[in-house]
């Protein structure tokens, strides 16, 4: 995604921009990016994509071709096109760092800017954040199921286009994958490129044994042989063992070696292959499995004690197959009038779909002893919480459900950090390896009950008393049963 | 996707390439791209992505940074890196034109090239063809459900990254969509950019009526008002009617005008809104609906006689939510030895997963009278079928199921056409609008029973007698029950 993405926006952002322009409406506004439901039945999500979102904002610029194209549509006036030609982003952006564990309703990104600018960036911000958060979350689930085994991202051929393969693999590594088969991603983001050979390698030689021998000779540091081209247990594994024996006899044992299973009953085949390798004196030979894996299948194979120690995961991870979209939305929270932000609400028939108004931030409350997350509080941006005072938190729908946290038993951390100030980027993105390490620590702040794959425990996301009061005072004033 | 995509490949393609290079193995081979199951339970698929695949092949070139990066991995030798630095594609490619209706097991793309070249291009070809074929197929289903109403692609914000949004929208238009909200896609591929305004437009004005008035004044040619920000039937529709009345009174009736529903019970709301518009004297006001639509929901709304005449479809189309990956694979079919292609087969426990060997092509047999598809025949590339002779076709698994077609009752068309010859592109991609029109004609060659959304009738894809005989003679000779 290196081309100019300025026109990567919904058409209505531009028609609305022109509307604001011609109406001389360009007050500063606040928009929040948030989502309502964790993907794939997860108890949490991992936010990702901020680095690409920053790059997008920095490079926003309508070039000559863009202006000519918009002019050709005969819907935009010259004065507005002239404004676009000089456009750059001048606002403030706050964001939750990539790799952070997040929950529904929390602002992941907050844009404070003149409405024309804030409106333009909606679509691309959502596109980038939704995609990478989706895949990072999915990867964290797959890696959780693999219980510490290496998980390799192998999905490029089934990804939804080149970016989905490359940025998806980036997100997968943030979520916990050891590396990717995608060389472009490995190059761009300095992460390990992984893989060995395909069935076509075996088929291009007169027989399997010859193909294995030549491969082992070529790659003496990592000799992983794909054993299922003809018959796994009667041909592939015996031939692999024969080659390993020849290498040992020649004093050329590879540092890392083993086999890869890519079809069939992985539980049965891996146990049989393990025994054959052990009996032949190769207990340290690895067994890698691939073949339509996802977190549930890996979990099942672990339960069945399959003898697999690394996993190649393709389609189901790179597309987040059971839930291929992250439902991030971009909602207006406030409009500035006379130097003051007036909070705004978008109504809905569903109480939990009603947006939270005002200029907000997110505080995370940790249990001081264990370091685990107690709850998150969405608050107004000026509110502070003193760790030396009793903290009362309450459910924003079932408000009678209250919890009191004693002074000194909890710590508080603000999640949103400044990314842009007056159009200038004030944030330096960490490397993907750093984000991956940070994310691993983040996942450790979740209780096991929240990490489990099915029916996880929900983490409390509460509103501060001030935000709650503000929200319901606006709702009351809207008197929606009898609109004028 | 305009950056250099040469490294958009699986790492193992490069390790295998080096293996072939060092082993002096560079025979010409034949690889087929094909898939085994239609996505989303469809009775067919629409192939798409060829234009981007061509662009990728044309631009293949390891630049200085690519070579430096590969060198830094300490796994590739200097002589091989030197070879890569001079790499270009020198082979032949055949493809089925974009927008063609296709079926499982048919070669959509056939690559004939030295094995090092044919291996390198596997991943990117699959990535591009899989993605766009998936979305074009999904779009054709959504448009089928809409029964001729305009369907607008609105999914950019939920697409899996920028390319998925842009190339996905391209594929959606090929599959039948009238246009897209994605301005970048509209610009790049010269297709209509569509959209009006969002809830934030309404919320940024003191009240809904003011927001509607200003919008109508700005866009007098297409005034579609979003009516569900506060209350659809008690606020949105009455205010829209008031604005339409004011425009009529002022003699400024828009050419195209109407309302958009984006939440709630679309069947109920659309019928109520239709009546309100009709009663107010606006029977030609359009009603557009959006809100998590897919082919099944549109079909259900049609059955309920919802008063909706255009549809905005987002997430479920741009991600093909119920089936977010198209299972295209790339399998070795033959290897040249002494100037002659030796057919190859990849075995599998499942009979239908066994690949078809040899240098193949695909013939489509049409019923001469109706122009509908009778069957497809996968044949060896030199085989010809004479429309003036009786044609016997048979099921390749249940071989006793035979059909005889009388001379003069059918026509034959070869689907694969030359794309590259000796590394030079010999094919000019049509415009997206042309492909869209071609695809509409293609869909008309399907019987209604194959187009229906649920449990469609399968189209016969048979093997020619020669290909069948070849396949089974190879299988017999492999004698897999007792491998050596």
* B115-123: average pLDDT: 97
Measure the CA–CA gap between A363 and A378, rounded to whole angstroms: 6
CATH classification at residue B18:
3.20.140.10
- In chain A, the number of structural domains is 2
CB atoms near residue B84 (< 10 Å): 20
ipTM: 0.96
Measure the CA–CA gap between B472 and B479, rounded to whole angstroms: 11
* A213 and A120 belong to one structural domain: no
User: Which one of A291, A313, A341 terminates a domain?
Assistant: A291
CA-based nearest residue to B33, from B115, B155, B122, B137: B122
Residue A141 lies in a domain: no
Tell me, yes or no, if B223 comes closer than 8 A to chain A by beta carbon.
no
Residue A49 lies in a domain: yes
- Over 90: is that where the pLDDT of A478 sits? no
What secondary structure letter does DSSP report for A171? H
Shortest distance between the Cα of A411 and any Cα of chain B, in A, equals 35
Residue A168 lies in a domain: no
CB A225, CB A201: distance < 8 Å: no
DSSP-derived secondary structure for B19-52? HHHHTT---EEEEEEE-SS-GGG-S-EE---HHH
Structure tokens at B232: 């659809």
What phi, psi does A310 have (nearest 5°)? -150, 160
Longest CA span, chain B: 90
Cα–Cα separations (whole angstroms), residue A226 to A199, A287, B16: 7, 10, 13
User: Which one of B267, B291, B315 terminates a domain?
Assistant: B291
Residue B305 lies in a domain: no
Shortest distance between the Cα of B183 and any Cα of chain A, in A, equals 5
3-state SS assignment for residue B4: coil
* B247 and B351 belong to one structural domain: no
Q: What is the pLDDT of residue A349?
A: 66
- Over 70: is that where the pLDDT of A480 sits? no
Tell me, yes or no, if A417 comes closer than 8 A to chain B by beta carbon.
no
* A245-265: average pLDDT: 95
Tell me, yes or no, if A8 comes closer than 8 A to chain B by beta carbon.
yes
- Over 60: is that where the pLDDT of B2 sits? no
Do the bridges between strand B373-380 and strand B460-463 make them parallel or antiparallel, or are there none, so unpaired? parallel
* pLDDT 10s digits, A75-111: 999 999 999 999 999 999 999 999 999 999 999 999 9
* B280 and B416 belong to one structural domain: no
Of A12, A156, A158, the CB nearest to B181: A12
Q: What is the pLDDT of residue A346?
A: 84
* B224 and B114 belong to one structural domain: no
Q: What is the pLDDT of residue A38?
A: 98
Measure the CA–CA gap between A73 and B253, rounded to whole angstroms: 21
* pLDDT 10s digits, B297-331: 999 999 999 999 999 999 999 999 999 999 999 99
* pLDDT 10s digits, A183-224: 999 999 999 999 989 999 999 999 999 999 999 999 998 899
- Over 70: is that where the pLDDT of B479 sits? no
Radius of gyration of chain B (CA): 27
Residue B423 lies in a domain: yes
Q: What is the pLDDT of residue B314?
A: 97
Is the CA virtual torsion B62, B419, B468, B477 positive or negative? negative
Q: In the structure, what pLDDT confidence band is assigned to residue B398 with cuts at 50, 70 and 90?
A: confident
* B362 and B448 belong to one structural domain: yes
How many C-alpha atoms does A99 have within 13 Å on its Cβ side? Answer: 21
- Over 70: is that where the pLDDT of B122 sits? yes
Measure the CA–CA gap between B25 and B18, rounded to whole angstroms: 10
Q: What is the pLDDT of residue B25?
A: 86
3-state SS assignment for residue B471: helix
Q: What is the pLDDT of residue A479?
A: 63
Residue B221 with chain A: CB contacts under 8 Å: 75
CA-based nearest residue to B419, from B55, B45, B26, B47: B55
Range of weakest confidence among A353-357, B249-253, B443-447: A353-357
What phi, psi does B112 have (nearest 5°)? -120, 110
Shortest distance between the Cα of B117 and any Cα of chain A, in A, equals 13
Residue A144 lies in a domain: no
CA-based nearest residue to A75, from B157, B259, B183: B183
* pLDDT 10s digits, A444-470: 999 999 999 999 999 999 999 999 999
Measure the CA–CA gap between B360 and B32, rounded to whole angstroms: 9
Q: What is the pLDDT of residue A51?
A: 98
Exposed / middle / buried, residue B102 (Cβ in 10 Å: 0-12, 13-18, 19+): buried
Tell me, yes or no, if A265 comes closer than 8 A to chain B by beta carbon.
no
Q: What is the pLDDT of residue B397?
A: 84
* B260 and B330 belong to one structural domain: no
Q: In the structure, what pLDDT confidence band is assigned to residue A354 with cuts at 50, 70 and 90?
A: confident
Contact yes or no for A319 and B321 at CB 8 A: no
For B347, nearest residue in chain A (alpha carbons): A230
Residues 124-153 of A with CB under 8 A from B: 124, 126-128, 130-132, 134-135
* A215 and A108 belong to one structural domain: no
* B356 and B227 belong to one structural domain: no
- Over 70: is that where the pLDDT of B482 sits? no
Contact yes or no for B162 and A218 at CB 8 A: no
For an interface test with B, which of A67, A109, A162, A329 has the most B Cβ atoms less than 10 Å from its Cβ? Answer: A162
Q: What residues contact residue A460 under an 8 Å CB cut-off, 6+ apart?
A: A374, A375, A376, A393, A395, A403
Measure the CA–CA gap between B431 and B174, rounded to whole angstroms: 10
Measure the CA–CA gap between B227 and B238, rounded to whole angstroms: 9
What phi, psi does B196 have (nearest 5°)? -130, -90
* B365 strand-pairing partners: B375, B412
Residue B162 lies in a domain: no
* B127-134: average pLDDT: 98
Measure the CA–CA gap between A293 and A297, rounded to whole angstroms: 6
Q: What is the pLDDT of residue B135?
A: 98
* pLDDT 10s digits, B46-60: 999 999 999 999 999
For an interface test with B, which of A34, A324, A328, A334 has the most B Cβ atoms less than 10 Å from its Cβ? Answer: A324
Longest CA span, chain A: 90
Q: In the structure, what pLDDT confidence band is assigned to residue A347 with cuts at 50, 70 and 90?
A: confident
Q: In the structure, what pLDDT confidence band is assigned to residue B1 with cuts at 50, 70 and 90?
A: very low
Q: What is the pLDDT of residue B484?
A: 41
Of A130, A162, A346, the CB nearest to B163: A162
* B58 and B201 belong to one structural domain: no
* B108 and B215 belong to one structural domain: no
Exposed / middle / buried, residue A423 (Cβ in 10 Å: 0-12, 13-18, 19+): middle
For B26, nearest residue in chain A (alpha carbons): A204
CA-based nearest residue to B220, from A308, A133, A75: A75
User: Which one of B291, B316, B351 terminates a domain?
Assistant: B291
Structure tokens at B333: 């079919």
Residue B192 with chain A: CB contacts under 8 Å: none
Cα–Cα separations (whole angstroms), residue B359 to B28, B351, B420: 12, 20, 16
Measure the CA–CA gap between A469 and A467, rounded to whole angstroms: 5
Measure the CA–CA gap between A331 and B55, rounded to whole angstroms: 38
Structure tokens at B191: 């297709």
CATH classification at residue A226:
3.20.20.70
Q: What residues contact residue A433 under an 8 Å CB cut-off, 6+ apart?
A: A190, A191
Of B162, B198, B483, the CB nearest to A5: B162
Q: Which of A31-35, A288-292, B226-230 has the highest mean pLDDT?
A: A31-35
* B95-113: average pLDDT: 98
Is the CA virtual torsion A362, A366, A372, A373 positive or negative? negative
* B333 and B462 belong to one structural domain: yes
Give chain A's mean pLDDT: 95
* B448 and B396 belong to one structural domain: yes
CA-based nearest residue to A94, from A420, A355, A430: A420
Q: In the structure, what pLDDT confidence band is assigned to residue A484 with cuts at 50, 70 and 90?
A: very low
* pLDDT 10s digits, B344-393: 988 776 777 789 999 999 999 999 999 999 999 999 999 999 999 999 99
CA-based nearest residue to A181, from B10, B122, B16: B10
Residue A75 with chain B: CB contacts under 8 Å: 219, 221
Residue A326 with chain B: CB contacts under 8 Å: 158
Say how far residue B466 (Cα) sits from the centre of its chain. Answer: 31
* Domain limits for position B369: 11-135+324-478
CA-based nearest residue to A334, from A84, A32, A80: A32
Residue A473 lies in a domain: yes
């Amino acid at each position: 995604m290196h081309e100019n993405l300025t026109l990567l926006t919904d058409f209505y952002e531009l028609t609305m921009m022109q509307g604001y322009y011609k109406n001389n409406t360009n007050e500063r506004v606040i928009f929040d990016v948030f989502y309502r439901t964790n993907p794939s039945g997860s108890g949490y999500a991992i936010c990702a994509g901020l680095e690409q979102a920053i790059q997008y904002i920095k490079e926003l610029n309508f070039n000559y071709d863009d202006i000519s194209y918009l002019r050709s549509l005969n819907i935009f006036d010259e004065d507005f096109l002239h404004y676009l030609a000089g456009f750059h982003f001048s606002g403030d952006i706050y964001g939750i760092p990539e790799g952070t564990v997040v929950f529904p309703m929390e602002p992941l990104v907050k844009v404070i800017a003149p409405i024309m600018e804030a409106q333009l960036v909606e679509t691309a911000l959502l596109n980038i954040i939704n995609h990478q958060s989706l895949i990072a979350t999915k990867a964290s689930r797959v890696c959780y199921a693999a219980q510490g085994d290496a998980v390799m991202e192998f999905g490029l051929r089934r990804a939804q286009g080149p970016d989905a393969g490359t940025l998806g693999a980036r997100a997968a590594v943030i979520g916990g994958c050891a590396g990717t088969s995608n060389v472009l991603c490995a190059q761009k983001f300095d992460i390990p490129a992984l893989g060995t050979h395909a069935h076509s390698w075996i088929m291009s030689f007169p027989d399997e044994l010859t193909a294995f021998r030549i491969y082992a000779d070529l790659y003496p540091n990592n000799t992983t042989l794909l054993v299922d081209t003809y018959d796994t247990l009667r041909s592939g594994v015996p031939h692999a063992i024969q080659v390993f024996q020849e290498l040992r006899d020649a004093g050329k044992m590879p540092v890392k070696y083993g086999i890869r299973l890519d079809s069939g009953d992985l539980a049965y085949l891996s146990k049989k292959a393990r025994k054959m390798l052990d009996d032949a004196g190769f207990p340290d030979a690895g067994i890698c499995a691939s073949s339509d894996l996802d977190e549930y299948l890996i979990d099942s194979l672990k339960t069945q004690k399959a003898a697999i120690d690394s996993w190649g995961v393709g389609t189901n991870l790179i597309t987040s197959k059971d839930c291929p979209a992250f439902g991030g939305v971009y909602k207006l929270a406030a409009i500035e009038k006379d130097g003051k932000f007036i909070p705004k609400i978008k109504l809905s028939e569903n109480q939990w779909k009603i947006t939270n108004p005002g200029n907000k931030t997110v505080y995370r409350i940790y249990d001081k002893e264990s370091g685990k997350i107690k709850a998150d509080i969405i608050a107004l941006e000026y509110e502070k919480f003193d760790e030396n005072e009793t903290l009362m938190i309450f459910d924003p729908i079932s408000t009678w459900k209250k919890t009191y946290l004693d002074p000194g038993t909890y710590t508080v951390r603000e999640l949103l950090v400044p990314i842009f100030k007056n159009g200038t980027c004030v944030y330096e993105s960490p490397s993907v390896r750093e984000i991956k390490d940070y994310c691993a620590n983040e996942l450790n702040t979740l209780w096991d009950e929240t990490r489990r794959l099915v029916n996880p425990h929900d983490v409390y996301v509460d509103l501060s008393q001030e935000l709650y009061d503000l929200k319901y005072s606006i709702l009351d004033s809207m008197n929606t049963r009898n609109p004028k």
